[in-house]
Structure 1
Amino acid sequence: MIGRSLRLRAPAKINLGLRVLGVLDDGTHSVETIYQAVDLFDDVELALGGDGIRISVHGQEREGVPESAENLAARAAAALLGALGSSAGVGIRLTKRIPVGSGLGGGSSDAAAVLYGLALLVGRGVSPETVTAVAGTLGADVPFFLRGATAFGYHRGSNLLILPPLTDLPGLVVVPDVRVSTFWAYNAWDLRRGAPASNSAGRPLRFNPDLEELARCRNDFETIVFAKFPEIESVQRTLAEGQPVLARLSGTGAACFALYREASHRDAEAERLHDVYRNRTGYGIFRVRLFSGGVEVLA
């Protein structure tokens, strides 16, 4: 046991590509995706002690994040302690900077940080295999954040192949004032595709570190999400107008992102976008870089 409290940071992610290949026998979806961590972080503080699992939420992106057992971070703590047969109490403090409901994985990253940090606090008897197994029960992208950097996700997205990290390219993330339900997005995909069976003929995703090749990847949710939320499509088109290496929807949205070869190009585009969205309430514009890590301990 290394102490009774820890502070960690939990990165956001973008999806460089996302394919839905079909529906599995249990009704979940077979997907392939290229996860990439970026340097936009929530802070997660853990303290052992007290009764039960307690959670508080702070920060500029706290609106709509529950301070209850429904929060995925609290569920992560309960799941790991349950797997260990532990009755320990823990306090969780989240400082939210990753927008909620944006396709950037903030809730999943917070959950991964809780698993990682709580395993360190509890100490002996917590194997990496246990932590990874619990992560897979919480959400498709939770296991990714334990490793971070660049990874290929397959099956439900929780099976991972770690890829060579990309260079720390500069990027922009733009989040319009709308939230997209992942549940709705997959249901809409089912309706559009007629819910094809497992091993359907969807074209597999292939990773190539060459940026021009990455630009040819696609996100299957763009057509579906753009049709219902034209403001999200407008953001993606506005990003593409600046001639980045690529501009794409992240996950099921609502965030869109663009990557650039040079920081000066990214910064000029950030200023242009601030002018474009100057009168749009609730829009967020974030300057980021690709991040070669996952959740990590700060103190």
Structure 2
Amino acid sequence: MPLTAQAQCPAKIHLFHEFAGLRGGKLQTADLVAKISLYDVIDASPAPSGLALEIVDETGGSPGPEAGPRHPALRAAEAFRREFRMGPGVQLRLTKRIPAGGGLGCGDSQAAGVLRALTRLHRLERDASRLRRVRAVGVRLGGYVPFFLSRNPMAGFTGAGRAPRYLTSPRALPWLLLASSGAAPRKRPSGPPLEVPRRESVLTSLSHLGTLKTKLEKGRPISEWAGLLFNRHEESVFRLRPELRQVRELLTRLGLEGARLSGPGDFVFAFASSREEGEAAMKRLRGYPWKVFLACCLG
């Protein structure tokens, strides 16, 4: 067994998010997500017994979940240990570089990173049958864990089961800027984030989702699909956080394309035509007390 194993845990953005109605009292959604080059890092090493998690926060922002038994990293480690009946303990170290609360998928990505790190620690990566069992653990953990456990850069999710439908593109997505006002979030209301939209509105946006997937899979330029990006969360989040609408509007005025809320959290993304254009936009934002990151989509 190696002394330590490491795995990167990428963030994600929502290229599309729509509420698609209710079924059995549960809200159904349709999503298209993409991994980006902003990472947390998991280090795993053997320990005499038990599971332990150390969190090193390099974000300088609001703290994420504490290192208790319900933390996604520890839940994933416990699920892995139960599946493979591993006797020795594990010491986990999570280095936080993705801001918490941004809707960037940190928890599910950390869980997938733990599964990958433990697979390497126990030298299971060349055993096809055991790798299938690792993937099955990811499915049981649910959420976006199977997506983050895969090598695929993009995936669509629809309905209650939310099994990912992976997408590939012959052309890399453009560089992007992520920005947040950094203001302390107001208390969010309990329950669904907004009323379920009218059926006609949903059908229209879902038809746009199909077109968006087709254009991405064909490697079409952003000018052909930027207008198809959508996030239903914007209606409620911008009511609570009007400063985030201002962030989106400013990114658009800087000449960036497809500016949208990244998820249900407090980051907005927009695409640049090149890394140089993204760096130039970052320089122009230095006068604002915002958190800003330049990243690329993986794949």
TM bucket by the smaller chain?
0.7 to 0.9
Query: Within the alignment, does 1:256 sit opposite 2:263 as a pair?
Result: no
Match of 2:148 among 145, 149, 154: 145
> What's the TM-score, normalizing by structure 2?
0.83
Equivalent residue number for residue 98 of structure 2: 98
How many angstroms apart in 2 are the aligned matches of 1:194 and 1:212? 28
Cα deviation digits, residues 216-264 of structure 1 (max 9, x gap): 2211111111111112222111112122221111111211111111222
Determine which structure has greater relative contact order: mean sequence separation of CA pairs < 8 Å that are 6+ residues apart, divided by chain length. Answer: 1
Q: 1:118 to 1:249 in 2, by over 3 A?
A: same
**How far is the alpha carbon of 1:76 from its aligned partner?**
0.9
SS of 1:18's equivalent in the other structure is: strand
- Compared with structure 1, are the counterparts of its residues 194 and 262 closer, same or farther at alpha carbon in structure 2 (3 Å cutoff)? closer
Confirm or deny that 1:17 pairs with 2:28: no
Contact map agreement 2:7 2:116 (CA 8 A) in 1: no
Describe how 1:86-235 pairs up with structure 2 within 5 A: 86-122=86-122, 123=124, 127-147=130-150, 148-156=152-160, 158-165=162-169, 166-178=171-183, 187-189=192-194, 192-193=195-196, 203-204=205-206, 205-206=209-210, 207=213, 208-209=215-216, 210=220, 211-215=222-226, 216-235=228-247
Deviation at 1:179, TM superposition (A): 6.7
What is the one-letter code of the residue matched to 1:161? R
Look up the equivalent residue of 2:225 and give its one-letter code.
L
Shift of 1:285: 0.5
Candidates 53, 56, 59, aligned match of 1:55:
53
Counterpart-to-counterpart distance in 2, 1:127 and 1:185: 40
Distance 1:157 1:232 in 2: 31
Amino acid at match of 1:23: L
Unaligned runs of 5+ residues in structure 2 are none
CA contact (8 A) 2:80 2:115 kept: yes
1:236 corresponds to: 248
Q: Which moved more, 1:161-170 or 1:252-261?
A: 161-170
Residues 65-84 of structure 1 mapped to structure 2, 5 A cutoff: 65=64, 66-84=66-84
More displaced 10-residue stretch of structure 1: 12-21 or 205-214: 205-214
Contact 1:170 1:288 in 2 (8 A): yes
Q: Percent identity?
A: 27
Q: CA deviation at 1:34?
A: 1.5
Aligned residues: 280
Q: Partners of 2:32 and 2:77 in 1: how far apart? A: 27
Q: 2-side partners of 1:164 and 1:37: how far apart? A: 12
Aligned-partner Cα distance in 1 for 2:163–2:50: 31
Matched residue of 1:232: which SS? helix
**CA apart distance, 1:130:** 2.8
Contact 1:22 1:31 in 2 (8 A): yes
Q: For 2:4 and 2:17, locate their aligned partners in 1 and report how far apart those are by CA, in whole Å.
A: 37
The answer to which of 200-209 and 112-121 deviates more is 200-209
Match of 1:290 in 2: 297
Alignment partner of 1:247 out of 240, 259, 264: 259
Query: CA shift at 1:139, angstroms?
Result: 4.2
Q: Distance in 1 between the 2:197 and 2:176 partners?
A: 36
What is the rounded CA distance, in whole Å, between the counterparts of 2:165 and 2:255 in structure 1?
Answer: 30
Q: Any idea what SS the aligned residue of 1:20 has? A: strand
Structure 2: distance between partners of 1:36 and 1:186: 26
